[in-house]
């Protein structure tokens, strides 16, 4: 998923302010209303991009 984001940003020439992923299971490892567990690689990537 992270590689796909990077490829899209290179193709379109920039980073989008909002991304709507089509497969949330790739991002959310454990759904929970109070304390969701996120995919560590996606979380780190988002933080490195300022999200």
What total of structural domains would you count in the chain?
A: 1
pLDDT of residue 29: 93
- Reported as half-sphere exposure (CB side, CA atoms, 13 A), residue 30 has a value of 6
pLDDT at residue 8 tops 90: no
Helix (H, G, I), strand (E, B) or coil at 6: helix
Helix (H, G, I), strand (E, B) or coil at 49: coil
pLDDT at residue 34 tops 90: yes
Domain that holds residue 43: 2-48
Name the average pLDDT for the chain: 86
Identify the band that residue 33 occupies on the pLDDT scale cut at 50, 70 and 90. very high
pTM of the model: 0.59
Across the range 15-29, mean pLDDT stands at 83
Across the range 26-41, mean pLDDT stands at 91
């Amino acid at each position: 998923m992270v590689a796909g984001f990077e490829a899209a940003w290179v193709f379109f020439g920039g980073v989008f302010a909002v991304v709507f992923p089509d497969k949330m299971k790739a991002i959310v490892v454990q759904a929970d209303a109070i304390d969701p567990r996120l995919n560590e690689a996606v979380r780190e990537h988002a933080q490195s991009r300022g999200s």
